[in-house]
Structure 1
Protein backbone atom coordinates (compact mmCIF):
# COMPACT_ATOMS: atom_id res chain seq x y z
CA UNK A 1 0.00 0.00 0.00
CA UNK A 2 3.08 2.21 0.05
CA UNK A 3 2.49 3.54 -3.46
CA UNK A 4 -1.17 4.23 -2.59
CA UNK A 5 -0.12 6.23 0.48
CA UNK A 6 2.49 8.21 -1.46
CA UNK A 7 0.17 9.05 -4.37
CA UNK A 8 -2.62 10.01 -1.95
CA UNK A 9 -0.21 12.42 -0.27
CA UNK A 10 0.68 13.84 -3.71
CA UNK A 11 -3.03 14.27 -4.42
CA UNK A 12 -3.63 16.20 -1.21
CA UNK A 13 -0.55 18.34 -1.88
CA UNK A 14 -1.93 19.18 -5.35
CA UNK A 15 -5.22 20.51 -3.92
CA UNK A 16 -3.61 22.21 -0.91
CA UNK A 17 -4.64 25.84 -0.61
CA UNK A 18 -7.54 25.65 -3.07
CA UNK A 19 -10.70 27.28 -1.80
CA UNK A 20 -14.06 25.58 -2.21
CA UNK A 21 -15.12 28.05 -4.89
CA UNK A 22 -12.15 27.22 -7.16
CA UNK A 23 -12.47 23.53 -6.33
CA UNK A 24 -16.00 23.50 -7.77
CA UNK A 25 -15.25 25.62 -10.88
CA UNK A 26 -15.23 23.81 -14.24
CA UNK A 27 -12.77 24.89 -16.93
CA UNK A 28 -15.52 24.32 -19.53
CA UNK A 29 -18.98 22.82 -19.76
CA UNK A 30 -17.77 19.35 -20.73
CA UNK A 31 -14.74 19.16 -18.43
CA UNK A 32 -14.70 18.09 -14.79
CA UNK A 33 -14.00 20.47 -11.92
CA UNK A 34 -11.33 19.47 -9.39
CA UNK A 35 -14.18 18.63 -7.01
CA UNK A 36 -15.60 16.23 -9.60
CA UNK A 37 -12.18 14.61 -10.09
CA UNK A 38 -11.83 14.08 -6.32
CA UNK A 39 -15.38 12.71 -6.11
CA UNK A 40 -14.61 10.33 -9.00
CA UNK A 41 -11.50 9.14 -7.14
CA UNK A 42 -13.28 8.23 -3.91
CA UNK A 43 -16.16 6.64 -5.81
CA UNK A 44 -13.66 4.60 -7.82
CA UNK A 45 -11.55 3.57 -4.82
CA UNK A 46 -14.68 2.67 -2.85
CA UNK A 47 -16.08 0.67 -5.77
CA UNK A 48 -12.83 -1.21 -6.29
CA UNK A 49 -12.51 -1.94 -2.55
CA UNK A 50 -16.09 -3.24 -2.47
CA UNK A 51 -15.45 -5.41 -5.54
CA UNK A 52 -12.20 -6.81 -4.08
CA UNK A 53 -14.03 -7.70 -0.87
CA UNK A 54 -16.84 -9.36 -2.84
CA UNK A 55 -14.38 -11.32 -5.01
CA UNK A 56 -12.43 -12.47 -1.94
CA UNK A 57 -15.64 -13.97 -0.53
CA UNK A 58 -17.37 -15.19 -3.69
CA UNK A 59 -14.94 -14.86 -6.60
CA UNK A 60 -13.48 -17.53 -8.76
CA UNK A 61 -9.82 -18.19 -9.39
CA UNK A 62 -8.67 -16.39 -12.54
CA UNK A 63 -4.88 -16.57 -12.12
CA UNK A 64 -4.54 -13.37 -14.16
CA UNK A 65 -1.18 -12.55 -15.69
CA UNK A 66 0.52 -9.43 -14.38
CA UNK A 67 -0.78 -6.43 -16.33
CA UNK A 68 1.04 -3.15 -17.17
CA UNK A 69 -1.23 -1.14 -14.85
CA UNK A 70 1.35 1.67 -14.75
CA UNK A 71 0.09 2.57 -18.24
CA UNK A 72 -3.03 3.90 -16.52
CA UNK A 73 -1.13 7.17 -16.04
CA UNK A 74 -1.15 7.83 -19.81
CA UNK A 75 -3.76 10.56 -20.35
CA UNK A 76 -3.57 10.11 -24.15
CA UNK A 77 -5.77 7.02 -23.80
CA UNK A 78 -9.29 8.11 -22.89
CA UNK A 79 -11.51 5.82 -20.86
CA UNK A 80 -15.06 6.64 -19.84
CA UNK A 81 -15.68 6.45 -16.11
CA UNK A 82 -17.82 3.48 -15.08
CA UNK A 83 -21.35 4.52 -14.17
CA UNK A 84 -20.79 4.05 -10.41
CA UNK A 85 -17.86 6.50 -10.50
CA UNK A 86 -19.35 9.38 -12.51
CA UNK A 87 -19.29 12.50 -10.30
CA UNK A 88 -22.22 14.79 -9.63
CA UNK A 89 -22.31 18.55 -10.17
CA UNK A 90 -23.23 19.19 -6.53
CA UNK A 91 -21.06 21.63 -4.55
CA UNK A 92 -18.62 20.06 -2.05
CA UNK A 93 -15.86 21.36 0.23
CA UNK A 94 -12.22 20.29 0.26
CA UNK A 95 -12.62 18.96 3.82
CA UNK A 96 -15.68 16.90 2.93
CA UNK A 97 -13.87 15.33 -0.03
CA UNK A 98 -10.72 14.64 1.99
CA UNK A 99 -12.82 12.83 4.61
CA UNK A 100 -14.47 10.66 1.96
CA UNK A 101 -11.11 9.92 0.34
CA UNK A 102 -9.64 9.01 3.75
CA UNK A 103 -12.54 6.61 4.40
CA UNK A 104 -12.21 4.75 1.07
CA UNK A 105 -8.41 4.66 1.46
CA UNK A 106 -8.74 3.10 4.92
CA UNK A 107 -11.30 0.58 3.63
CA UNK A 108 -8.90 -0.59 0.89
CA UNK A 109 -6.02 -0.75 3.39
CA UNK A 110 -8.11 -2.82 5.81
CA UNK A 111 -9.00 -5.29 3.06
CA UNK A 112 -5.35 -5.59 2.00
CA UNK A 113 -4.21 -6.12 5.60
CA UNK A 114 -6.77 -8.83 6.39
CA UNK A 115 -7.00 -10.70 3.07
CA UNK A 116 -5.27 -14.00 2.40
CA UNK A 117 -2.30 -13.30 0.10
CA UNK A 118 -3.02 -16.42 -1.98
CA UNK A 119 -6.60 -15.28 -2.62
CA UNK A 120 -5.39 -11.80 -3.62
CA UNK A 121 -3.06 -13.38 -6.18
CA UNK A 122 -5.41 -16.06 -7.53
CA UNK A 123 -8.71 -14.17 -7.72
CA UNK A 124 -9.49 -11.13 -9.83
CA UNK A 125 -11.98 -9.27 -11.97
CA UNK A 126 -11.85 -7.60 -15.39
CA UNK A 127 -10.76 -4.08 -16.25
CA UNK A 128 -12.20 -2.55 -19.48
CA UNK A 129 -8.72 -2.21 -21.06
CA UNK A 130 -6.44 -4.69 -19.29
CA UNK A 131 -8.86 -7.61 -19.00
CA UNK A 132 -8.63 -9.76 -15.86
CA UNK A 133 -6.51 -8.16 -13.14
CA UNK A 134 -5.65 -9.99 -9.92
CA UNK A 135 -7.07 -8.55 -6.72
CA UNK A 136 -3.48 -7.96 -5.62
CA UNK A 137 -2.85 -5.74 -8.68
CA UNK A 138 -6.15 -3.87 -8.28
CA UNK A 139 -4.76 -2.31 -5.07
CA UNK A 140 -1.84 -0.42 -6.71
CA UNK A 141 -4.07 0.20 -9.75
CA UNK A 142 -5.97 2.63 -7.51
CA UNK A 143 -2.73 4.61 -7.02
CA UNK A 144 -1.89 4.72 -10.75
CA UNK A 145 -5.46 5.78 -11.50
CA UNK A 146 -5.10 8.54 -8.92
CA UNK A 147 -1.77 9.61 -10.43
CA UNK A 148 -3.52 9.93 -13.81
CA UNK A 149 -6.06 12.26 -12.26
CA UNK A 150 -3.40 14.32 -10.46
CA UNK A 151 -2.19 15.19 -13.97
CA UNK A 152 -5.77 16.13 -14.86
CA UNK A 153 -6.00 18.34 -11.75
CA UNK A 154 -2.81 20.13 -12.84
CA UNK A 155 -4.40 20.72 -16.26
CA UNK A 156 -7.59 22.10 -14.70
CA UNK A 157 -5.59 24.40 -12.38
CA UNK A 158 -3.68 25.70 -15.40
CA UNK A 159 -6.89 26.33 -17.38
CA UNK A 160 -8.43 28.14 -14.40
CA UNK A 161 -5.15 30.05 -13.70
CA UNK A 162 -4.94 28.71 -10.15
Structure 2
Protein backbone atom coordinates (compact mmCIF):
# COMPACT_ATOMS: atom_id res chain seq x y z
CA UNK A 1 0.00 0.00 0.00
CA UNK A 2 2.97 2.35 0.61
CA UNK A 3 3.93 2.08 -3.06
CA UNK A 4 0.35 2.94 -4.04
CA UNK A 5 0.54 6.07 -1.88
CA UNK A 6 3.86 7.14 -3.46
CA UNK A 7 2.48 6.77 -6.97
CA UNK A 8 -0.69 8.70 -6.10
CA UNK A 9 1.45 11.49 -4.64
CA UNK A 10 3.55 11.58 -7.83
CA UNK A 11 0.40 11.88 -9.92
CA UNK A 12 -0.94 14.76 -7.84
CA UNK A 13 2.44 16.52 -7.91
CA UNK A 14 2.54 16.14 -11.70
CA UNK A 15 -0.80 17.89 -12.19
CA UNK A 16 -0.39 20.60 -9.53
CA UNK A 17 0.08 23.99 -11.11
CA UNK A 18 -1.94 23.16 -14.22
CA UNK A 19 -5.10 25.19 -14.74
CA UNK A 20 -8.50 23.49 -14.91
CA UNK A 21 -8.59 24.51 -18.58
CA UNK A 22 -5.27 22.76 -19.25
CA UNK A 23 -6.42 19.68 -17.33
CA UNK A 24 -9.62 19.47 -19.38
CA UNK A 25 -7.92 20.16 -22.74
CA UNK A 26 -7.57 17.35 -25.27
CA UNK A 27 -4.08 17.72 -26.77
CA UNK A 28 -4.69 14.67 -28.98
CA UNK A 29 -7.91 13.86 -30.79
CA UNK A 30 -9.44 10.61 -29.62
CA UNK A 31 -7.50 10.50 -26.34
CA UNK A 32 -8.52 11.38 -22.84
CA UNK A 33 -7.68 14.70 -21.24
CA UNK A 34 -5.59 14.70 -18.07
CA UNK A 35 -8.72 15.26 -15.97
CA UNK A 36 -10.36 12.27 -17.66
CA UNK A 37 -7.32 10.12 -16.82
CA UNK A 38 -7.64 11.21 -13.17
CA UNK A 39 -11.38 10.49 -13.23
CA UNK A 40 -10.63 7.05 -14.72
CA UNK A 41 -8.26 6.34 -11.79
CA UNK A 42 -11.05 7.26 -9.37
CA UNK A 43 -13.59 5.06 -11.17
CA UNK A 44 -11.12 2.18 -11.34
CA UNK A 45 -10.17 2.32 -7.67
CA UNK A 46 -13.83 2.51 -6.69
CA UNK A 47 -14.69 -0.50 -8.90
CA UNK A 48 -11.80 -2.57 -7.52
CA UNK A 49 -12.75 -1.67 -3.94
CA UNK A 50 -16.34 -2.75 -4.57
CA UNK A 51 -15.27 -6.02 -6.20
CA UNK A 52 -12.88 -6.85 -3.34
CA UNK A 53 -15.60 -6.01 -0.79
CA UNK A 54 -18.10 -8.26 -2.61
CA UNK A 55 -15.62 -11.15 -2.73
CA UNK A 56 -14.72 -10.74 0.94
CA UNK A 57 -18.43 -11.10 1.82
CA UNK A 58 -18.77 -14.20 -0.36
CA UNK A 59 -18.05 -17.75 0.79
CA UNK A 60 -16.63 -18.57 -2.64
CA UNK A 61 -12.91 -19.29 -2.63
CA UNK A 62 -11.08 -19.37 -5.94
CA UNK A 63 -7.36 -19.29 -5.40
CA UNK A 64 -5.30 -17.70 -8.18
CA UNK A 65 -1.64 -18.08 -9.03
CA UNK A 66 0.37 -14.87 -8.96
CA UNK A 67 0.41 -13.03 -12.26
CA UNK A 68 3.06 -10.62 -13.64
CA UNK A 69 0.96 -7.54 -12.77
CA UNK A 70 4.04 -5.31 -13.06
CA UNK A 71 3.53 -5.60 -16.84
CA UNK A 72 0.59 -3.24 -16.35
CA UNK A 73 2.97 -0.27 -16.68
CA UNK A 74 3.94 -1.30 -20.24
CA UNK A 75 2.11 1.26 -22.37
CA UNK A 76 3.06 -0.53 -25.61
CA UNK A 77 0.20 -2.91 -24.87
CA UNK A 78 -3.02 -1.00 -25.47
CA UNK A 79 -5.96 -1.93 -23.26
CA UNK A 80 -9.54 -0.85 -23.86
CA UNK A 81 -11.06 0.40 -20.59
CA UNK A 82 -14.26 -1.40 -19.58
CA UNK A 83 -17.30 0.88 -19.97
CA UNK A 84 -17.81 1.25 -16.21
CA UNK A 85 -14.42 2.96 -15.82
CA UNK A 86 -14.60 5.24 -18.86
CA UNK A 87 -14.60 8.85 -17.62
CA UNK A 88 -17.19 11.41 -18.59
CA UNK A 89 -16.55 14.25 -21.04
CA UNK A 90 -17.84 16.87 -18.61
CA UNK A 91 -15.60 19.70 -17.41
CA UNK A 92 -14.25 19.00 -13.92
CA UNK A 93 -11.97 20.98 -11.67
CA UNK A 94 -8.82 19.55 -10.14
CA UNK A 95 -10.29 20.11 -6.66
CA UNK A 96 -13.37 18.07 -7.57
CA UNK A 97 -11.31 15.19 -8.89
CA UNK A 98 -8.86 15.35 -5.96
CA UNK A 99 -11.83 15.01 -3.58
CA UNK A 100 -13.08 11.98 -5.51
CA UNK A 101 -9.61 10.41 -5.51
CA UNK A 102 -9.26 11.01 -1.75
CA UNK A 103 -12.66 9.38 -1.16
CA UNK A 104 -11.87 6.31 -3.29
CA UNK A 105 -8.43 5.91 -1.68
CA UNK A 106 -9.84 6.19 1.82
CA UNK A 107 -12.42 3.47 1.11
CA UNK A 108 -9.75 1.25 -0.50
CA UNK A 109 -7.30 1.64 2.40
CA UNK A 110 -9.99 0.99 5.00
CA UNK A 111 -11.19 -2.14 3.20
CA UNK A 112 -7.68 -3.56 2.84
CA UNK A 113 -6.78 -2.67 6.43
CA UNK A 114 -9.81 -4.55 7.77
CA UNK A 115 -9.51 -7.57 5.46
CA UNK A 116 -8.41 -10.98 6.67
CA UNK A 117 -5.06 -11.96 5.13
CA UNK A 118 -6.26 -15.52 4.35
CA UNK A 119 -9.26 -14.18 2.47
CA UNK A 120 -7.02 -11.87 0.44
CA UNK A 121 -4.86 -14.86 -0.54
CA UNK A 122 -7.63 -17.40 -1.13
CA UNK A 123 -10.20 -15.32 -2.98
CA UNK A 124 -9.99 -13.78 -6.42
CA UNK A 125 -11.85 -12.14 -9.26
CA UNK A 126 -10.94 -11.83 -12.93
CA UNK A 127 -8.95 -9.10 -14.62
CA UNK A 128 -9.57 -8.56 -18.38
CA UNK A 129 -5.98 -9.55 -19.32
CA UNK A 130 -4.54 -11.44 -16.34
CA UNK A 131 -7.69 -13.53 -15.74
CA UNK A 132 -8.11 -14.56 -12.07
CA UNK A 133 -6.14 -12.28 -9.73
CA UNK A 134 -6.07 -12.88 -6.00
CA UNK A 135 -7.53 -10.10 -3.88
CA UNK A 136 -4.02 -9.71 -2.50
CA UNK A 137 -2.63 -9.00 -6.00
CA UNK A 138 -5.39 -6.52 -6.76
CA UNK A 139 -3.91 -4.25 -4.04
CA UNK A 140 -0.56 -3.57 -5.77
CA UNK A 141 -2.32 -3.71 -9.16
CA UNK A 142 -3.97 -0.38 -8.26
CA UNK A 143 -0.51 1.19 -7.95
CA UNK A 144 0.81 -0.35 -11.19
CA UNK A 145 -2.32 0.83 -12.99
CA UNK A 146 -1.83 4.36 -11.66
CA UNK A 147 1.86 4.27 -12.62
CA UNK A 148 0.83 3.36 -16.17
CA UNK A 149 -1.44 6.39 -16.26
CA UNK A 150 1.20 8.64 -14.65
CA UNK A 151 3.25 8.03 -17.79
CA UNK A 152 0.20 8.91 -19.90
CA UNK A 153 -0.38 12.11 -17.91
CA UNK A 154 3.25 13.12 -18.43
CA UNK A 155 2.89 12.54 -22.19
CA UNK A 156 -0.31 14.60 -22.31
CA UNK A 157 1.23 17.35 -20.20
CA UNK A 158 4.18 17.63 -22.62
CA UNK A 159 1.72 18.23 -25.48
CA UNK A 160 -0.25 21.03 -23.81
TM range (shorter): over 0.9
Q: Residues of 2 paired with 1:127 and 1:21: CA distance?
A: 34
Report what 1:112 is aligned to: 112
> Are positions 1:60 and 2:60 aligned together?
yes
> Are positions 1:156 and 2:143 aligned together?
no
Say if 1:59 and 1:44 are closer, same or farther in 2 by CA, change over 3 A: farther
> Are positions 1:21 and 2:41 aligned together?
no
| Residues paired across the two proteins, number | 160
Report what 2:34 is aligned to: 34
TM-score by length of 2: 0.98
Unaligned runs of 5+ in 2: none
Report what 1:47 is aligned to: 47
Report what 2:143 is aligned to: 143
3-state SS in 2 of match to 1:81: coil
3-state SS in 1 of match to 2:25: coil
Q: Residues of 2 paired with 1:10 and 1:154: CA distance?
A: 11
TM-score by length of 1: 0.97
Moved >3 Å (runs of 4+): none
Unaligned runs of 5+ in 1: none
**Contact 1:59 1:123 (8 Å CA) reproduced:** no
Q: Residues of 2 paired with 1:157 and 1:59: CA distance?
A: 45
- Deviation readout 1:49-77 (Å, 9 max, x if unpaired): 00000010025211101111111000000
Q: Residues of 2 paired with 1:57 and 1:83: CA distance?
A: 25
Report what 2:9 is aligned to: 9
Q: Aligned-pair RMSD on alpha carbons? A: 0.8
The CA deviation at 1:28 is 2.4
Say if 1:63 and 1:87 are closer, same or farther in 2 by CA, change over 3 A: same
Say if 1:110 and 1:30 are closer, same or farther in 2 by CA, change over 3 A: same
3-state SS in 2 of match to 1:41: helix
- Deviation readout 1:67-112 (Å, 9 max, x if unpaired): 1111100000011111110011100001110110011011110011
